[in-house]
């Protein structure tokens, strides 16, 4: 079970947290549309409301009023094909001898079975197949014997994989990022409190200030009265494995992740795409919305080189149709692309077109769009993609597809060009991705484009040894 989600946690001085959490989940809606949930604590007891559907449908005013308390966490969950069910909606809550826990998780563990079996043999009963419940039980167990910080460290020692977590332990909100920082997590300040969230756009929505990224292997503990936070670097900062695909596709362009504005990264990638494989055509056209920042960078670089190519929006998006990817069957995905995008004939007819998108996964979108553009009278169609070929599945939290569904898993670029019906096709190089993100290979997770993963995922190659340094708790000032 993969979790591809958005998380948030808020502590306020003297104000109910439910509405700011609700607005935060709105800001994170793109990270998950299957379910939404909030858990708060009012100093006496935990309250929760978790429901299937979009944030706007999951809560009404009464629901938010019932979520009392100035501390809370929230979650939006991304659906996996065919797994639309209520079992895995979050935050996940447990009560145990010495208190209550709520847990919201973005990421994917690679040793869930092992930890679940161990806990089951100790008498823990599980109600879902998800890895979040496993983390919650492990932490609840550790909390019976250890203080909060040590308990979190013990759980982090036990679980492997990607995780950005917000946790509600009684009325204390925590944020945790896995030791390689695979999924994003940021810390921000509000007028009357603090917030931890998957993306900085959440903090902007609340009129707050981004303080910084939560570091890989760091635990942040918010003070329940909203007056500050403590930081504990529980793992030495060694090799990070930030997911490059967050920058390419998943995150909002207006978010800053690992100190980089996603919009600028995408424009930069678009510029590099022109440098690597630019072709002068009458128009440069983005696939909305995912290709837009790439296409604007590409067109800008083309113009600087003197290319006489016009940036044009030739595909109009019906904004009421959700992400095509989340449709469980191929038939539905194909129908959804057509429902979602309609061509503007006058910008296409009789012209050569460069069509720009961020990625090709199964090839559904590009195949359909090439056909659509041809039907609208395009003379030539050149497809340019702002990421390398996706040749392997993601095991660490992004719903891609299984290996046999990936169009590039075992095809050459020329085979793919033929399959999608384009006149030419080019992908961006891995080098350009690492250059744009100012990292070497070691600091990014490039598993889906290299097949080499930072964690030992069953049956796949591992590109490094994950060493786990000893506990080094260093409480720091606010
Ligand atoms: P596909 O149609 O299967 O080739 O998928 C590529 C299209 O889906 C592109 O337009 C991407 O912007 C978008 N996309 C890529 N990765 C994902 C993902 N993990 N979830 C949803 N959409 C995606």
How many other C-beta atoms are found inside a 10 Å radius of the C-beta of residue 114? 14
SS3 for 475? Answer: coil
Same domain, 283 and 140: no
Ligand 1 atom with the smallest distance to the CA of 399 is: 19
Burial letters 213-237, b for 16+ CB under 10 A, else e: bbbbbbbbbbbbebeebbbbbbbee
Cα separation, 25 vs 14, whole angstroms: 21
**Which secondary-structure segment (H or E) carries 381?**
strand 380-385
Q: State how far the Cα of 129 lies from the Cα of 120, in Å rounded to an integer.
A: 13
Identify whether 231 is part of a domain: yes
Query: Positive or negative CA dihedral for 282, 287, 288, 293?
Result: negative
Atom of ligand 1 minimally distant from the CA of 245: 16
The answer to whether residues 299 and 176 belong to one domain is no
Closest protein CA for atom 11 of ligand 1: 359
- Please tell me whether the peptide bond between 292 and the residue prior to it is cis, using omega within 30 degrees of 0: no
Q: 384 forms bridges with which residues in the sheet?
A: 356, 426
CATH of the domain at 374: 3.40.50.2020
Taking alpha carbons only, the member of 141, 157, 173, 162 closest to residue 9 is 173
Domain count, the chain: 2
119 lies in the same domain as 67: yes
106, 249, 404: residue to mutate for ligand 1 pocket, most atoms within 8 A of CB: 249
Same domain? For 171 and 316 the reply is no
Looking up residue 26, the CATH number of its domain turns out to be 3.60.20.10
Compute the distance from residue 242 Cα to the ligand 1 centre, in Å.
Answer: 19
Residues with CB under 6 A from ligand 1: 249, 287, 290, 323, 325, 357-366, 398-400
Q: Are residues 35 and 125 in the same domain?
A: yes
Judge if 276 and 176 occupy the same domain.
Answer: no
Q: Determine, yes or no, domain membership for 259.
A: no
CA-CA distance, 123 to 19, in Å (whole number)? Answer: 38
Say how far apart CA 13 and CA 446 lie, in whole Å. Answer: 41
- 191 and 155 in one domain? yes
Nearest CA to ligand 1 atom 9: 359
Is 467 inside any structural domain?
no
| Ligand 1 atom closest to 358 (CA) | 12
Residue written as token pair 């016009």: 310
- Is residue 425 classed as helix, strand or coil in its secondary structure? strand
* Residue 298 sits in the same domain as residue 223: no
Q: Which residues contact 171 (CB under 8 A, 6 or more apart)?
A: 41, 42, 43, 69, 71, 224
Alpha helices in 384-451 (DSSP H): 413-420, 430-436, 447-450
Decide the pairing of beta strands 193-197 and 186-190.
Answer: antiparallel
Cβ contact 111:117 at 8 Å: no
Whether residue 249 lies inside any domain: the answer is no
- Give me 140's structure tokens: 């609840």
> For ligand 1, atom 22, which residue shows the shortest CA distance?
325
- Does any domain span residue 386? yes
Please tell me the pTM assigned to this model: 0.92
Both 178 and 287 in one domain: the answer is no
Count of Cβ atoms closer than 10 Å to residue 41 Cβ: 27
Domain edge (last residue) among 192, 217, 237: 237
**CA–CA separation, 30 vs 79, rounded Å?**
11
CA neighbor of 320 nearest in space, from 28, 50, 54:
54
Domain of residue 41 covers 4-237
- Minimal CA–CA distance to 224: which of 42, 96, 46, 477? 42
Assess whether 209 and 272 both reside in one domain.
no
Task: Tell me whether residue 105 is in a domain.
Answer: yes
Pair 446, 244: CB distance under 8 Å: yes
Are residue 437 and residue 371 in the same domain, yes or no?
yes
427 alpha carbon – ligand 1 mean position (Å): 15
Nearest to 175, CA basis, from 131, 216, 141:
216
| 150 in the same domain as 277 | no
Q: Could you identify the residue written with the tokens 């553009």?
A: 373
Q: Which atom of ligand 1 is nearest to the CA of 407?
A: 4
Share of the chain above pLDDT 90, in %: 78
5 belongs to the catalytic site: yes
CA of 166 to the centre of ligand 1 (A): 27
Q: Is residue 459 part of a domain?
A: no
Out of 5, 88, 243, 448, pick the active-site residue: 5
**DSSP per-residue letters across 239-273:** ---EEHHIIIIIS-TT-EETTEEHHHHHHHHHHHH
* Best of 359, 360, 405, 422 for a ligand 1 pocket test (most atoms within 8 Å of beta carbon): 359
Distance (Å) from CA 448 to ligand 1 centroid? 13
The mean pLDDT of the chain is 90
Question: Which residue's C-alpha comes closest to atom 21 of ligand 1?
Answer: 325
User: Is the distance from CB of 315 to CB of 344 less than 8 angstroms?
Assistant: yes
- For residue 54, is it within any domain? yes
Nearest-atom number in ligand 1 for the CA of 365 is: 2
pLDDT string in tens for the chain (478-residue length): 445 699 999 999 999 999 999 999 999 999 998 899 999 999 999 999 999 999 999 999 999 999 999 999 999 998 654 455 566 789 999 888 878 999 999 999 999 999 999 999 999 999 887 889 999 999 999 999 999 999 999 999 999 999 999 999 999 999 999 999 999 999 999 999 999 999 999 999 999 999 999 999 999 999 999 999 999 999 987 789 999 999 999 999 999 999 999 999 999 999 999 999 999 999 999 999 899 999 999 999 999 999 999 999 999 998 887 655 556 577 777 777 788 889 999 999 999 999 999 999 999 999 999 999 999 999 999 999 999 999 999 988 887 778 889 999 999 999 999 999 999 999 999 999 999 998 777 799 999 999 999 887 765 555 443 332 222 222 222 2
């Amino acid at each position: 079970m993969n979790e591809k989600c958005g998380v948030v946690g808020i502590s306020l001085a003297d104000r109910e947290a439910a509405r700011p959490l609700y607005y935060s989940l709105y800001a994170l809606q793109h990270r998950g549309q299957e379910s939404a949930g909030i858990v708060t604590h009012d100093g006496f007891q935990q309250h929760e409301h978790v429901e299937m559907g979009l944030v706007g449908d999951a809560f009404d005013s009464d629901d938010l009023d019932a979520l009392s308390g100035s501390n809370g966490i929230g979650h939006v969950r991304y659906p996996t094909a065919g797994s639309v069910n209520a079992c895995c909606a979050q935050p996940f809550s447990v009560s145990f001898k010495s208190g209550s826990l709520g847990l919201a998780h973005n990421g994917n563990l690679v040793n869930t079975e092992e930890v679940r079996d161990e806990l089951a043999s100790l008498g823990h009963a599980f109600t879902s197949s998800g890895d979040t419940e496993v983390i919650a039980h492990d932490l609840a167990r550790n909390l019976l014997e250890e203080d909060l910080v040590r308990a979190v460290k013990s759980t982090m020692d036990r679980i492997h994989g990607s995780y950005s977590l917000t946790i509600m332990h009684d009325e204390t909100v925590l944020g945790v990022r896995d030791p390689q920082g695979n999924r994003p997590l940021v810390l921000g300040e509000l007028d009357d409190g603090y917030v931890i969230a998957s993306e900085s756009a959440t903090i902007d929505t609340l009129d707050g200030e981004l303080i910084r990224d939560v570091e890989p292997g760091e635990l942040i503990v918010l003070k329940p009265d909203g007056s500050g936070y403590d930081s504990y670097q529980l793992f030495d900062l060694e090799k990070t494995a930030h997911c490059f695909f967050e920058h390419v596709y998943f995150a909002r362009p207006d978010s800053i992740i690992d100190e980089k504005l996603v919009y600028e990264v995408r424009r930069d990638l678009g510029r590099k795409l022109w440098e690597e494989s630019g072709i002068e055509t009458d128009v440069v056209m983005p696939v909305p919305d995912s290709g837009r920042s790439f296409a604007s960078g590409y067109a800008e670089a083309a113009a600087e080189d003197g290319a006489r190519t016009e940036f044009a929006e030739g595909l109009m998006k019906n904004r009421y149709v959700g992400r095509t990817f989340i449709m469980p069957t191929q038939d539905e995905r194909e129908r959804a692309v057509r429902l979602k995008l309609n061509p503007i004939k006058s910008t296409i007819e009789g012209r050569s077109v460069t069509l720009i998108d961020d990625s090709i996964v199964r090839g559904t979108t590009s195949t359909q769009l090439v056909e659509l553009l041809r039907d609208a009278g395009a003379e030539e169609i050149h497809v340019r993609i702002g990421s390398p070929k996706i040749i392997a599945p993601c095991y660490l939290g992004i719903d891609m597809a299984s290996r046999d569904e990936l169009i590039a898993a075992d095809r050459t670029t020329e085979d793919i060009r033929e399959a999608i019906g384009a006149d030419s096709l080019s992908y961006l190089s891995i080098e350009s991705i690492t250059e744009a993100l100012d990292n070497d290979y070691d600091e990014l997770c490039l598993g889906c484009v290299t097949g080499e993963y930072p964690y030992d995922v069953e049956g796949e190659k591992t590109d490094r040894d994950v060493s786990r340094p000893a506990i080094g708790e260093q409480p720091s000032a606010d």
